[in-house]
Amino acid sequence: MSGVEFDYDNVHFSVVDNLLRTVKIDSPSEIDIDILYGGLCEFNTLCMLGEGYLFDINNIIFDGSSSSTQEELERYAKDILESRALSYYKTRTDFYGDKLGLLPPREYADSEVMGKWANLFRELIFPLNAFFYMSSIDGLPLDMRTAYFTECFEPLAKYHSTMENVRIAENERANGDKYGDLFNSIKHIVLFYGSEVFRSETSNGSIDDVIQKLVNNRVRMMHLKRDIGNKILPSSIEMITFSRKLHILYRHTLLQCIGVDKGKYKEKLEQCVGHWDKNHIHLTNSQEGIFNGETKI
């Protein structure tokens, strides 16, 4: 059994993990139900940054109200579960498991981090919702999922550039042509936070080629282009590897933006990246585990 407790925004969070996760949010005074539910959603997405998946909201109980009957509270809870709970609060894809998880929320969730996360979420609400949705909803081709992951890096880089007062560099190709904004955005995040995630690509000189392939995949999927040349991810093997590495890098960057100490999960970060690097080599050699662009690894 493990858990965490902290105060945030005039309510008290008490979280216990014991097979199922129980999140209890107490207010010292009467409070709007939407505020309580909003706090639960904020905590859920904060957990996702470390764990790599959103936990299912299977049951909600409201009690202790002096202005509503228990029957009314039960009706409110049922309404939230049936019609208001965001659909991405159910991880149904294979973006789940120990090889994507960085650290449990008990290692970083507190009032200060929750406040920083709430502010960041308001600034990046649309790309973050897209990232959570693409991480959680099943039935989507992996190349489409990866295209959305890739797209989410541009607003993230702009946010980081503004907050840290650093310019996003305009990178050039060997022939002097300039790369586009999305390439520059991904390269910006890789330079600041991707030393572990893209260490092998940086060390072997392939990082620009990999980023451009990811950008081209995004262009092909978003603009419905059949052929944009040969600089795309050529196989489901590469798509599996780099979709996972993008997923890890995006969450790692968000954790750093809200002040989580990288020392708490650096070893686990390197283990996860090492798994996908080795898995890439294994799948290249064996082609095992592939089905419809996804994998059961």
Q: What is the DSSP letter of 55?
A: P
pLDDT of residue 112: 97
What integer best gives the mean pLDDT of the chain? 86
Q: Where do the structural domains in the chain lie, given as residue ranges?
A: 2-295
pLDDT of residue 90: 62
Q: What is the pLDDT of residues 47-90, one digit of tens each?
A: 999 999 888 888 899 998 888 899 999 998 998 888 766 655 66
3-state secondary structure of 17: strand
* pLDDT tops 90 at residue 227: no
Q: What is the pLDDT of residues 237-266, one digit of tens each?
A: 888 899 999 999 999 999 999 999 999 999
d(CA 30, CA 65) in angstroms, rounded, equals 7
Chain length of the chain: 297
Sign of CA dihedral 153, 129, 133, 90: positive
Residues 6+ apart with CB under 8 A from 126: 155
d(CA 37, CA 222) in angstroms, rounded, equals 34
Edge-first strand listing for the sheet containing 20-26: 2-8, 11-18, 20-26
Backbone angles phi, psi at 17, to 5 degrees: -105, 115
Q: pLDDT: is 284 or 34 the higher one?
A: 34
pLDDT of residue 104: 93
Average pLDDT of span 286-292: 37
* Residues 50/103, Cβ–Cβ less than 8 Å: yes
Where residue 287 falls (left for φ over 0; alpha for ψ -120 to 50; beta otherwise) is left
* pLDDT tops 90 at residue 109: yes
Q: pLDDT: is 112 or 177 the higher one?
A: 112
Share of the chain above pLDDT 90, in %: 59
d(CA 119, CA 266) in angstroms, rounded, equals 25
* pLDDT tops 80 at residue 290: no
* pLDDT tops 80 at residue 174: no
Average pLDDT of span 109-136: 94
Return the structure tokens found at 253.
């960057």
Report the 10 Å Cβ neighbour count for 214.
Answer: 27
